[in-house]
Amino acid sequence: MTEFITQLPKAELHLHLEGSLEPELMLKLAQRNKLFLPYDDIAAIKAAYEFGNLQDFLDIYYQGANVLQTEQDFFDLTWAYLLRCKEQGVVHTEPCFDPQTHTDRGIPFPVVVNGISAALKQGQTQLGISSYLILSFLRHLPEEAAFKTLEMALPYRDQFIAVGLDSSEMGHPPEKFERVFAKARAEGFKAVAHAGEEGPAAYVWSALDLLSVDRIDHGVRAFEDAKLIQRLIDEQVPLTVCPLSNTRLKVFADMADHTILKMLDQGVMVTVNSDDPAYFGGYVAENYQAIYESLAMTPAQLQQLAINSIKASFLPQDVKNSIILQVESVGI
Ligand code: ADE
Ligand code: ZN
């Protein structure tokens, strides 16, 4: 099955570049930038990756991001991720990054965005992988900080396609960012938001109604609200589901409890993504493999998930059509 999954042309729509920082690269960048890391070796880093919930993870993830200092560091991070995409049959990716994680510790915005963009450009020319970048606001910080970030980013508007919303969900509902999302949309950006990961289904409603998002990141707790599920089906709102993330962060106790297959069967536009692969034990193909094994999925269902990933992307319709034909031509 691994080979079939790899052969399916796929898009990845929910990937935090900072979450693709592998322990090996973290150590290398710490040495290169002469920074202290509270770990002696790779085994010690990996041993720290035991999370009881989202916040446990975020604390470690923000600490790891401190090793990213120069434009070259952001290039190397992004390039390493694109090489994984190539190995796994990801033909298009829409990764996000958190500028505030870097600007708040004194790294200039252009250092971050130019390093990422240069790697994404090289991904297109050398690996044939297309990409659109998403700029995410940290929801645990004030609305005003998100506004400042958007202002800072506007001169670089050609380098990203959408704004997003991530970090600690509980207590930071989408409505806190209604005005900044309205401004971003007025500037012509698309919008996505994490909602219904740890937070309630109500956050999915408000991301749709108040932020006018094009996709919901995670959204798995929508399953608790039948009316919401019906709306997601009727409007074909894409959910960027991240199975390994959900089990590692205890959103589901076990992969066998995951609701992605039930939602797919009901007609929800679910997609499979890796979220923070360096922290959760796998890139996109490992996420397909995990649900295939634990939920007794059929190859046709895996193929449908790959088709959904293309449909839910921000690619132009003609490009989507041609990739979907390629997905359909992979023999089951
Ligand atoms: N930032 C990185 N990964 C995240 C996740 N799964 N949820 C919220 N914020 C994040
Ligand atoms: Zn995420």
- Residue ranges of the annotated binding site for Zn(2+) are 14, 16, 194, 275
- Output DSSP code: residue 273: -
| pLDDT value, residue 331 | 84
Q: What is the pLDDT of residues 117-151, one digit of tens each?
A: 999 999 999 999 999 999 999 999 999 999 999 99
Q: How far, in Å, from the CA of 172 to the mean position of ligand 1?
A: 13
Residue type, 253: A
Can you tell me the distance from the alpha carbon of 121 to that of 283, in angstroms, rounded to the nearest whole number? 21
Q: Which residues does residue 79 pair with via DSSP β-bridges, in sequence order?
A: none
Catalogue the active-site residues: 197
Q: Which two tokens stand for residue 256?
A: 């066998």
The DSSP string of 235-248 is HT--EEE-HHHHHH
Q: How far, in Å, from the CA of 325 to the mean position of ligand 2?
A: 29
Closest by Cα among 8, 53, 30 to 271: 8
Q: What is the pLDDT of residues 30-74, one digit of tens each?
A: 999 999 999 989 999 999 999 999 999 999 999 999 999 999 999
| pLDDT value, residue 146 | 99
Right CATH number for 2-322 from 3.40.640.10, 3.20.20.140, 3.40.718.10, 3.40.50.300?
3.20.20.140
Max Cα distance, the chain (Å): 53
Q: Which residues of the chain have pLDDT under 50?
A: none
Q: What is the pLDDT of residues 164-177, one digit of tens each?
A: 999 999 999 999 99
The DSSP string of 8-40 is S-EEE--BBGGGG--HHHHHHHHHHTT---S-S
Query: CA angle, 53 as apex, 50 and 56 as ends, to 5°?
Result: 60
| pLDDT value, residue 332 | 77
Can you tell me the distance from the alpha carbon of 322 to that of 300, in angstroms, rounded to the nearest whole number? 19
| pLDDT value, residue 218 | 98
